[in-house]
């Protein structure tokens, strides 16, 4: 049981720590202190559900249905380009400098819907979380313990990322930091979209 748990924990940590669109969004919300704990919780729950689905059957369904992956890919490209363009516009706009002072804060619903889109419209979540982590989990002696290990990795990572970013926010709340943050998010979104187009 513990071997399966550790396998899930380590494999999920290895994949989840790579800087991606989801991590960039959680980091940005943490630095803005804008519903960052709710965003982290949503990412944790989504990862746990997707890993569970992958371990108990969805991985094999996706592996044998390229049409579903194609729909996810092109939907993801459209969303990533749109969100990247918004971040780039904030990076070059004087109004982006007011992000840190609490003015114009978005509602929790809007923030969570964007977090859900960043998570579920990114095809990498299906390739990594469902297919890779899920198919490896299906081979474990105790698949349930493996799922719990992977969920523990998400809990530790996203909690640390959101809380750590919020803790650092007072030291990083400078106009140049906000511009750099938005620019980083834009580059991340565009690069993932380009990668998806190239591998289509």
Structure tokens at 5: 């748990």
Sorted by where each begins, the domain ranges of the chain are 2-198
- The pLDDT tens digits for 160-170 are 999 998 998 88
Say what the pLDDT of residue 156 is.
94
Tokens representing residue 179 in the block: 């511009």
Interatomic CA distance for residues 110 and 36, integer angstroms: 12
User: What secondary structure, in 3-state letters, does 120-169 show?
Assistant: HCCHHHHHHHHHHHHHHHHCCCCHHHHHHHHHHHHHHHHHHHHHHHHHHH
**Using one digit for the tens of pLDDT, what is the confidence trace for 86-137?**
888 878 875 554 444 444 678 999 999 999 988 888 777 777 777 777 777 7
Tell me what pLDDT residue 59 has: 58
Q: What is the pLDDT of residue 180?
A: 81
Compute the half-sphere exposure of residue 38: CA atoms within 13 Å on the CB side of its CA. Answer: 13
pLDDT at 112: 95
What is residue 18's predicted lDDT score, i.e. its pLDDT?
A: 65
The pLDDT of residue 101 = 43
20-47 exposure pattern, b = at least 16 Cβ within 10 A, e = fewer: bbbbbbbbbbbbbbbbbebbbbbbbebb
CA of 160: how far to CAs of 114, 155, 198, in Å?
Answer: 20, 8, 33
pLDDT of the residue at 19: 58
The model carries a pTM of 0.72
Provide mean pLDDT across the span 175-183: 78
Q: 40-98, pLDDT tens digit by residue?
A: 999 999 989 988 888 887 756 666 777 776 776 787 788 778 878 888 887 887 555 44
Work out the average pLDDT over 21-42: 89
Neighbours of 137 (CB within 10 A): 27
Give the H or E element holding residue 119: helix 108-120
């Amino acid at each position: 049981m513990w071997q399966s748990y550790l396998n899930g924990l380590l494999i999920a940590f290895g994949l989840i720590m790579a800087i991606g669109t989801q991590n960039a969004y959680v980091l940005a919300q943490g630095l803005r202190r804008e519903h960052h704990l709710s965003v982290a919780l949503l990412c944790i729950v989504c990862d746990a559900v997707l890993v569970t689905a992958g371990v108990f059957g969805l991985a094999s369904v996706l592996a044998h249905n390229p049409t579903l992956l194609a729909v996810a890919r092109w939907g993801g490209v459209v969303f990533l380009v749109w969100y990247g363009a918004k971040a780039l516009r904030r990076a070059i706009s004087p109004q982006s400098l007011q992000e840190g002072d609490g003015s114009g804060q978005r509602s929790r619903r809007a923030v969570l819907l964007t977090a859900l889109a960043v998570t579920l419209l990114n095809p990498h979540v299906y390739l990594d979380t469902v297919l890779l982590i899920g198919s490896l989990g299906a081979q474990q002696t105790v698949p349930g313990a493996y799922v719990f290990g992977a969920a523990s990795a998400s809990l530790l990572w996203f909690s640390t990322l959101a809380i750590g970013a919020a803790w650092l926010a007072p030291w990083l709340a400078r106009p140049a930091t906000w511009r750099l943050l938005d620019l980083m998010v834009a580059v991340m979104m565009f690069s993932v979209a380009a990668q998806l187009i190239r591998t289509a």
